[in-house]
Amino acid sequence: MAASPLLPKTRAFLWKKDKLLLLDQRLLPHKSVWRTCRTWQEVAGGIHDMVVRGAPAIGCVAAYGAVLAARRKALPKGFDGLLKARPTAVNLRWALERMRKVWEQGGNLEHEAIAIEQEDREANRRMGEYGASLVASGATLMTHCNTGSLATAGLGTAFGVLWMASRQGKLKKVLATETRPYLQGARLTAWELKNEHIPFELITDSMAAHLMKTEKVDAIFVGADRIAANGDTANKIGTYALAVLAAHHQIPFYVVAPMSTVDLYTATGDRIPIEERRIEEVVMMGGRRLAPHGIKARHPAFDVTPAGLITGIVTDRGIARPPYIDSLAFLIKDTRPALTDAAA
Amino acid sequence: MAASPLLPKTRAFLWKKDKLLLLDQRLLPHKSVWRTCRTWQEVAGGIHDMVVRGAPAIGCVAAYGAVLAARRKALPKGFDGLLKARPTAVNLRWALERMRKVWEQGGNLEHEAIAIEQEDREANRRMGEYGASLVASGATLMTHCNTGSLATAGLGTAFGVLWMASRQGKLKKVLATETRPYLQGARLTAWELKNEHIPFELITDSMAAHLMKTEKVDAIFVGADRIAANGDTANKIGTYALAVLAAHHQIPFYVVAPMSTVDLYTATGDRIPIEERRIEEVVMMGGRRLAPHGIKARHPAFDVTPAGLITGIVTDRGIARPPYIDSLAFLIKDTRPALTDAAA
Q: Does the beta carbon of B207 lie under 8 angstroms from any beta carbon of chain A?
A: yes
Q: How far apart are CA B230 and CA B162, in angstroms?
A: 26
Q: Does the beta carbon of B282 lie under 8 angstroms from any beta carbon of chain A?
A: yes
> In this predicted structure, what is the pLDDT of residue B333?
85
Q: How far apart are CA A295 and CA A49, in angstroms?
A: 23
Q: How far apart are CA B175 and CA B276, in angstroms?
A: 27
Q: How does pLDDT run across B76-95, given as a tens digit for each residue?
A: 999 999 999 998 889 999 99
Rounded mean pLDDT, A248-254: 98
For residue A172, with 0-12 CB atoms within 10 Å meaning exposed, 13-18 middle and 19 or more buried, which class applies?
A: middle
Q: Does the beta carbon of B284 lie under 8 angstroms from any beta carbon of chain A?
A: no
Q: How far apart are CA A147 and CA A257, in angstroms?
A: 9
Q: Which residues of A touch B303 (CB under 8 A)?
A: 207, 209-210, 213
Rounded mean pLDDT, B326-338: 76
Rounded mean pLDDT, A82-93: 92
Q: Which residues of B touch A285 (CB under 8 A)?
A: 285-286, 288, 290
Asked whether A162 and A174 are in contact (CB, 8 A), the reply is yes
Q: How far apart are CA A212 and CA A165, in angstroms?
A: 20
Q: Which residues of A touch B205 (CB under 8 A)?
A: 180, 204-206, 238
- With CA atoms as reference, the chain B residue closest to A208 would be B241
Q: Which residues of A touch B209 (CB under 8 A)?
A: 238, 240-241, 244, 303
Q: Which residues of B touch A213 (CB under 8 A)?
A: 240, 303
> In this predicted structure, what is the pLDDT of residue B88?
87
> In this predicted structure, what is the pLDDT of residue B344?
30
- Chains A, B: CB contacts within 8 A come to 172
Q: How does pLDDT run across A288-301, given as a tens digit for each residue?
A: 899 999 999 999 99
B238 with A298: Cβ contact below 8 A: no
Rounded mean pLDDT, A96-121: 97
Q: Output the 3-class SS for chain B.
A: CCCCCCCCCCCCEEECCCCEEEECCCCCCCCCCEEEECCHHHHHHHHHCCCCCCHHHHHHHHHHHHHHHHHCCCCCHHHHHHHCCCCCCHHHHHHHHHHHHHHHCCCCHHHHHHHHHHHHHHHHHHHHHHHHCCCCCCEEEEECCCCCCCCCCCCCCHHHHHHHHHHCCCEEEEEEECCCCCCHHHHHHHHHHHHCCCCEEEECHHHHHHHHHHCCCCEEEECCCEEECCCCEEEECCHHHHHHHHHHCCCCEEEECCHHHEECCCCCHHHCCCCECCCHHHHEECCEECCCCCCCECCECEEEECHHHCCEEEECCEEECCCHHHHHHHHHHCCCCCHHHHHC
Q: Does the beta carbon of A322 lie under 8 angstroms from any beta carbon of chain B?
A: no
A194 with B292: Cβ contact below 8 A: yes
Q: Does the beta carbon of B283 lie under 8 angstroms from any beta carbon of chain A?
A: yes
* Per-residue CA distances from B201 to B164, B178, B198 (Å): 18, 10, 10
Cis peptide before B199 (omega within 30 of 0): no
A288 with B285: Cβ contact below 8 A: yes
Q: How far apart are CA B230 and CA B233, in angstroms?
A: 9
Rounded mean pLDDT, A230-259: 98
For B331, what's the count of Cα atoms within 13 Å in the CB-facing half-sphere? 27
Q: Does the beta carbon of A32 lie under 8 angstroms from any beta carbon of chain B?
A: no
> In this predicted structure, what is the pLDDT of residue A335?
53
B336 pLDDT above the threshold of 60:
no
Tell me which residue in A177, A294, A303 faces B209 most closely, judged by beta carbons. Answer: A303
Instruction: Report residue B2's pLDDT band, with 50, 70 and 90 as the boundaries.
Output: very low
Q: How far is A30 from chain B (nearest CA, A)?
A: 7
Q: How far is A180 from chain B (nearest CA, A)?
A: 7
> In this predicted structure, what is the pLDDT of residue B6?
62
Q: How does pLDDT run across B143-156, given as a tens digit for each residue?
A: 999 999 999 999 99
B3 pLDDT above the threshold of 70:
no
> In this predicted structure, what is the pLDDT of residue B286?
76
Q: How does pLDDT run across A311-331, given as a tens digit for each residue?
A: 999 999 999 999 999 999 999
Q: How far is A246 from chain B (nearest CA, A)?
A: 10
* Per-residue buried b or exposed e for B246-270, using 16+ beta carbons within 10 Å of the residue's own CB: bbbbebbbbbbbbbbbbbeebeebe
Q: How does pLDDT run across A172-205, given as a tens digit for each residue?
A: 999 999 999 999 999 999 999 999 999 999 999 9
CATH class of B126-333: alpha beta
Rounded mean pLDDT, B9-36: 95
Tell me which residue in B191, B248, B291 faces A292 most closely, judged by beta carbons. Answer: B191
- With CA atoms as reference, the chain A residue closest to B202 would be A297
What residues 43-72 of chain B have any CB closer than 8 A to a CB of chain A?
Answer: none
The domain limits of chain B are 13-121, 126-333
DSSP A285: E
Q: How far apart are CA A231 and CA A242, in angstroms?
A: 16
Tell me whether the CATH fold assigned to A13-121 matches the one assigned to A126-333.
no
What residues 249-278 of chain B have any CB closer than 8 A to a CB of chain A?
Answer: none
Q: Does the beta carbon of B308 lie under 8 angstroms from any beta carbon of chain A?
A: no
Domain B13-121 part of CATH 1.10.1060.10: no
Tell me which residue in A237, A244, A292 faces B194 most closely, judged by beta carbons. Answer: A292
B240 with A300: Cβ contact below 8 A: no
Which of the residues B193, B195, B207 would you substitute to probe the A interface, choosing the one with the greatest number of A C-beta atoms within 10 Å? B207
A4 pLDDT above the threshold of 90:
no
Asked whether B134 and B314 are in contact (CB, 8 A), the reply is yes
> In this predicted structure, what is the pLDDT of residue A6?
62
- With CA atoms as reference, the chain A residue closest to B294 would be A194
A285 pLDDT above the threshold of 90:
no
B235 pLDDT above the threshold of 80:
yes
Provide the residue type at A64 as one letter: Y
Q: Does the beta carbon of B342 lie under 8 angstroms from any beta carbon of chain A?
A: no
Q: Which residues of B touch A309 (CB under 8 A)?
A: none
> In this predicted structure, what is the pLDDT of residue A338?
42
Which candidate in B218, B225, B232, B263 is catalytic?
Answer: B225
Q: Shortest CA distance to A208 belongs to which of A200, A217, A199? A: A217
Provide the residue type at B30 as one letter: H
B12 pLDDT above the threshold of 50:
yes
* Per-residue CA distances from B141 to A256, B158, B175, B201 (Å): 35, 10, 6, 11
Tell me which residue in A204, A244, A292 faces B180 most closely, judged by beta carbons. Answer: A204
> In this predicted structure, what is the pLDDT of residue A339?
41
Q: How far apart are CA B255 and CA B10, in angstroms?
A: 23
For residue A1, with 0-12 CB atoms within 10 Å meaning exposed, 13-18 middle and 19 or more buried, which class applies?
A: exposed
* Per-residue CA distances from A175 to A68, A285, A306, B320 (Å): 40, 23, 23, 37
For the beta carbon of residue B74, count every other beta carbon within 10 angstroms. Answer: 17
Catalytic (active-site) positions of A:
225
